[in-house]
Structure 1
Amino acid sequence: MFPPLTYLIVLACLVQAGWAAWFVMKDRAVMLRQLWGCAVVEGLLLVQAIVTAGLLLLGSYGHVEVWELWGYLVTALLVLPLAAAWAFAERTRWSSVVMLVAALTVAFLEWRLVQIWSA
Structure 2
Amino acid sequence: MKGFVITHLGKRCKIGSDDSFATMICSLVIQRNEFILEGGNMSGARIGSWQRIREGLDVEIEVAEFDDVSEDCYTLIDPEYNNIIEEKDELLEWNWKLEKFREIEKILKEENLL
TM-score (norm 1): 0.24
* Structure having the larger proportion of residues in helix: 1
* Structure having the larger proportion of residues in strand: 2
Q: Which has the higher contact order (CA 8 A, sep 6+)?
A: 1
Larger radius of gyration: 2
TM-score (norm 2): 0.24
